[in-house]
Amino acid sequence: MTSEKLDRRKKYTRMVLKDSLLKLLKQKTFSSITVKEICELADINRSTFYAHYQDPFQLLETIEDEIIADMRKYLHTYNLQEKEDALRMTEKLIQYFSAKHEELQILLNKSGELSFERKVRHVAEQFMMNKMTSEEKNTHLPEYVSKFIISGSIEVLKIWLSEGRSESPKEMAELINNLINHGIYGQA
């Protein structure tokens, strides 16, 4: 058997396992999901599961880490100092979130676990703190501001994902950027 066939088979197996876990997370909490259930839904045997992952925690972490890696890539592509870049970055991130809406909706709202949301917050906070000047970092104000902005943005996106994404990613990016730059009373 060629290595290309093995790679495709591996990719397919991992995709089916991820999809199965996400389907189960729609129905129940993560802590109540078993390897047996994942395997039955994926139509694979347990030994195949264990050939890829140690346990459901590692499978969930793999799903989360892939999204976090993509998020980091988007964040580091743009210069936040430029307003247009900040808007484009936010729009690209929201487009990505829209494409991954089912996974993100499950990971942010349904799983009952907060690990993914903590990871998202951590990446966003690191990004914002890295963009601040050394003078800004010497006070607690930037930390408060970044936590406020990130928390609000995540909550807005959770609502947007759960309510069917009726606004476009561009509209959501503009809304979030306007709230960040002008506050709720600065809205026109």
The Cα–Cα gap between 91 and 85 comes to 10
Domain range for 115: 57-186
- The contacts of residue 49 (CB under 8 Å, 6+ apart) are 17, 35, 38, 39, 42
Mean pLDDT of the chain: 83
In this structure, are residues 105 and 162 in contact, taking their beta carbons and an 8 Å threshold? yes
Considering the domain architecture, whether residues 7 and 21 belong to the same structural domain is answered as yes
Counting the structural domains of the chain, the total is 2
pLDDT, position 76: 78
Pair 62, 5 in one domain: no
Kindly state whether residues 16 and 86 are assigned to the same domain.
no
Question: Do 161 and 139 sit in the same domain of this protein?
Answer: yes
**Which residues contact residue 102 at a Cβ distance below 8 angstroms, ignoring those fewer than 6 apart?**
22
CATH number at residue 130: 1.10.357
pTM of the entire predicted model? 0.80
Q: What is the CATH number of the domain that holds 33?
A: 1.10.10
Regarding whether 118 and 48 lie in a shared domain, the answer is: no
Tell me, yes or no, whether 68 and 81 share the same domain. yes
- Per-residue pLDDT reduced to its tens digit, 122-176: 888 888 777 665 555 556 667 788 888 888 888 889 889 888 888 898 999 888 8
Give the span between the Cα atoms of 68 and 74, in whole angstroms: 10
